[in-house]
């Protein structure tokens, strides 16, 4: 039983054995944090702590599954009894158990972002608002930010500062949309992902006996990736840990990159203030990467002010230097990457899966994809359309949701006339009006259509047939396992027939996807066990699980030997033998929206750190001197992050310096779009900065100026017209640089 301790280095062993009281495990990239977290839980059970009293929170289902399997190998089947899973899965389980305390049924539906956007779009239309101003994705982001800061719709509408912020962004009725959104969710017995945390906070705040119950259950709490927690998660953890204070958080402030989702790096930076008696364990040995890669990552992150100091090191070999390639255009950059991967594969017999191409924005994948196809290199894009977001899959899942929860308005609207059964848009609009007038659900209206005027006899018959079908499914679902009822719904609803009859390649693919979903149901139901005559692997249990899946949880076997293409955000937690980081240009990486704030710039630097530390053996960095963006070819400067790399760790490859482009040519004299930030932080009014805010028109030759990156300098000459004016500047510390004035953000000193 004690053999697992012999597999740890001294620092890891200390972190595993120090189980009592609060503690923080600061784990550098590739330092074995998952092993420490796993063995710490195993050690708790080995010491006699009941697995029922251990709560382990992760950020992906895949991480939870892998950890549970590892623990099971050490302690046996007892591992099944640990409260382990993502924040959302664990707290949705608690909410279903305590549903009466929050006035929800136990079978509430969990809306994904597509469902939420659809509902918000409907509300915006009903309020006759301009959807170009009240964009559903922007509105949803604002509501999400409010919930993550524990601001209810009621509080939102009472806060004068928040209302003023909405007026400044030309969305004064956003609070009204928030209120209607929550009311409709309640009416549909549905929650979105943010609600799972928001309502858990309400439950623990308003029901002291429930808080006491779970404090007593969760005597030991462990949290993975603590740097990624938001305010809502932070408060839940703090409340649950208050009684026993046996809280262990594991994370790396240097890998905090999700502030756009509400993650707060302050949670990990201030942990020792929250728990002054906390033990701090630093895992600084990197087992993943070569010395050059580790040193390069250290040299980058060392430029940040907001961090807990640590020195990551490795006993691995020195490895290859980091290659930096300059290309003339983004298309040439794509060709360079594809050709280099092809050569590496040929020279070293490498697999496609050994390679990853990382970029700052999804739009950059186009030129990469084209080049990979030309070289016949198979690839997989992560963060694209996941299996569970495909139309045909969402159609069948909507039937499943409706069978379990007939009040689910979004599911009902999706399938009431699919496959076609003669219930048209006019009828659905009448149902919606009646539901709003009578403050009831769609299902209540179509269950008793005779009570409501305006619906013809023929339509009433069709509605009744639909209601009878759903009610029939609901009755038998309680006696069938997930696969049996899923197959019946697929067949009787007509969905399988609808896609089977479409013999186009797209139709065949959709039918195959439906069959794949049914295969998943069959595998799920293969775990069938009966307990006191009850079916365990129910459709309700299946839907609870898949509602919380991510792209990486759904990876198929045929995707395994392909080059991985993804944003750096999507790459966090992964590792590859060979990594290509493309688009290292100012205003792209770091992002143009991040260069005016030290806090934002430091997050961009952490993002680069994450990208570097994905690699085991080699890293290729590349940038283009000219890149098509917003339909125009623009000149790009190399990223400041390239200058921050220690020169002895890098090697420049590729062609000789490329001649500069004449920006006075007619094709470059088109107006460029102004980019504005659409997000306004709650609680503080922010003026969105755009690329055109520099005083370019007032700058003249001979001016002494200051640049955010290069410092003080003197303008030697200015050429070009309008938005393409560029200045040759002699900087005191960086020498002569030619900058486009519209992007330069220069401050005139004299």
Point out the residues that are catalytic.
Answer: 33-34, 224-225, 255, 614
Question: CA end-to-end span of the chain, whole Å?
Answer: 73
- Residue 174 tokens, joined: 């956003």
Question: Is the backbone of residue 30 left (phi > 0), alpha (psi -120 to 50) or beta?
Answer: left
The H or E element containing residue 621 is strand 615-629
Residue reference for tokens 């007892």: 78
Q: 725 by DSSP, 3-state: which?
A: coil
In whole angstroms, what is the distance from residue 233 CA to residue 210 CA?
17
Q: Please return the burial class of 736, using the count of CB atoms within 10 Å of its CB with bins 0-12, 13-18 and 19+.
A: exposed
In whole angstroms, what is the distance from residue 473 CA to residue 485 CA?
7
Beta partners for residue 220, in sequence order: 54
Cβ density class 2-17: b for 16+ within 10 Å, e for less: eebeeebeebbbbbbe
For residue 419, say if its preceding peptide bond is cis, omega within 30 degrees of 0: yes
Rg (CA), the chain: 28
Concatenated DSSP letters for 668-717? G-SPPPPP------TTS--PPP-TT-S-GGG--TT-EEEETTTEEEEEEE
Would you give the DSSP letter of residue 112?
Answer: -
In whole angstroms, what is the distance from residue 469 CA to residue 473 CA?
6
The H or E element containing residue 356 is strand 355-359
Residue reference for tokens 């500062």: 161
Q: Please return the burial class of 64, using the count of CB atoms within 10 Å of its CB with bins 0-12, 13-18 and 19+.
A: buried
Q: Report CA-CA distances (Å) from 73 to 7, 39, 68, 577.
A: 14, 11, 9, 28
Would you give the DSSP letter of residue 180?
Answer: H
**Which residues, 6 or more positions from 690, have their beta carbon under 8 angstroms from its beta carbon?**
674, 675, 676
């Amino acid at each position: 039983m004690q053999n697992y301790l012999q597999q740890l280095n001294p620092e890891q062993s200390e972190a595993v054995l120090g189980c009592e009281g609060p503690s923080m495990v600061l784990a550098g990239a590739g330092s074995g944090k998952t092993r420490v977290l796993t063995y710490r839980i195993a050690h708790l059970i080995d010491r006699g702590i009941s697995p029922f009293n251990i709560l382990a929170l992760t950020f992906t289902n895949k991480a939870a599954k892998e950890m549970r399997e590892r623990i099971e190998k050490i302690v046996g089947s007892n591992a099944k009894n640990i409260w382990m899973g993502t924040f959302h899965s664990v707290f949705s389980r608690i909410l279903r158990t305590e549903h009466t305390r929050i006035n929800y049924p136990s079978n509430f539906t969990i809306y994904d972002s597509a469902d939420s956007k659809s509902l918000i779009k409907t509300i915006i239309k009903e309020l006759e608002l301009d959807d170009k101003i009240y964009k559903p994705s922007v509105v949803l982001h604002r509501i999400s930010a409010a919930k993550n800061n524990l601001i209810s719709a009621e509080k939102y509408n009472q806060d004068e500062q928040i209302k003023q912020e909405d007026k400044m962004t030309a969305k004064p009725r956003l609070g009204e949309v928030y209120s209607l959104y929550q009311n409709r969710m309640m009416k549909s017995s549905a929650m979105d992902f943010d609600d799972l945390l928001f309502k858990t906070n309400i439950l623990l705040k308003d029901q002291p006996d429930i808080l006491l119950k779970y404090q007593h259950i969760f005597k030991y709490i462990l949290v993975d990736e603590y740097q990624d927690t938001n305010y809502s998660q932070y408060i839940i953890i703090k409340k649950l840990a208050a009684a026993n204070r046996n809280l262990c958080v594991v994370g790396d402030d240097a890998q905090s990159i999700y502030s756009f989702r509400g993650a707060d790096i302050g949670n990990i930076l201030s942990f020792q203030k929250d728990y002054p008696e906390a033990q701090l364990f630093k895992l600084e040995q990197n087992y993943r990467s070569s010395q050059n890669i580790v040193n390069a990552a250290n040299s980058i992150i060392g430029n940040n002010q907001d961090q807990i100091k640590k020195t990551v090191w490795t006993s691995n070999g020195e490895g290859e230097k980091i290659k930096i390639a300059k290309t003339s255009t983004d298309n040439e950059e794509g060709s360079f990457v594809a050709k280099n991967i092809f050569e590496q594969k040929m020279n070293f017999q490498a697999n496609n899966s050994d390679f990853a191409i990382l970029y700052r924005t999804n739009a950059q994948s186009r030129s990469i994809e084209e080049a990979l196809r030309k070289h016949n290199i198979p690839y997989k894009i992560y963060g694209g359309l996941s299996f569970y977001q495909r139309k045909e899959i969402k159609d069948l899942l909507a039937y499943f949701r409706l069978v379990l929860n007939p009040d689910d308005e979004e599911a009902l609207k999706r399938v009431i006339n699919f496959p076609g059964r003669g219930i048209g848009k006019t009828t659905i609009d009448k149902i919606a009006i009646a539901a709003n007038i009578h403050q009831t659900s769609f299902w209540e209206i179509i269950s008793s259509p005779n009570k409501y005027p305006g619906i013809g006899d023929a339509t009433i018959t069709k509605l009744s047939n639909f209601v009878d079908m759903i009610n029939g499914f609901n009755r038998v679902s309680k006696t069938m396992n997930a696969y049996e009822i899923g197959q019946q719904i697929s067949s009787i609803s007509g969905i399988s027939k609808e896609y089977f009859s479409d013999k186009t390649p797209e139709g065949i693919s959709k039918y195959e996807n439906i069959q794949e979903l049914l295969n998943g149901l069959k595998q799920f139901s293969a775990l069938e066990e009966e307990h006191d005559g009850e079916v365990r692997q129910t459709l309700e249990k299946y839907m609870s699980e898949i509602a919380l899946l991510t792209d990486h949880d759904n990876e198929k076997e045929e995707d395994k030997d392909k080059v991985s293409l993804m944003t750096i955000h999507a790459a966090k937690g992964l590792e590859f033998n060979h990594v290509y980081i493309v688009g290292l240009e100012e205003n792209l990486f770091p992002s143009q929206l991040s260069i005016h704030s030290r806090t934002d710039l430091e997050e961009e630097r952490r993002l680069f750190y994450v990208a570097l530390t994905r690699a085991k053996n080699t890293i290729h960095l590349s940038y283009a001197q000219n890149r098509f963006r917003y339909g125009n070819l623009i000149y790009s400067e190399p990223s400041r992050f390239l200058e921050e790399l220690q020169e002895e760790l890098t090697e420049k490859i590729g062609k000789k310096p490329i001649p500069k482009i004449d920006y006075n040519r007619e094709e470059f004299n088109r107006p460029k779009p102004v980019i504005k930030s659409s997000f306004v932080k709650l609680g503080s009014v922010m003026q969105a900065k755009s690329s055109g805010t520099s005083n370019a028109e007032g700058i003249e030759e001979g001016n002494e100026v200051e640049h955010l990156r290069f410092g003080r300098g003197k303008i030697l000459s200015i050429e070009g017209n309008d938005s393409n004016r560029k200045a040759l500047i002699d900087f005191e510390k960086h020498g002569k640089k030619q900058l486009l004035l519209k992007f330069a953000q220069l401050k005139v000193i004299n």
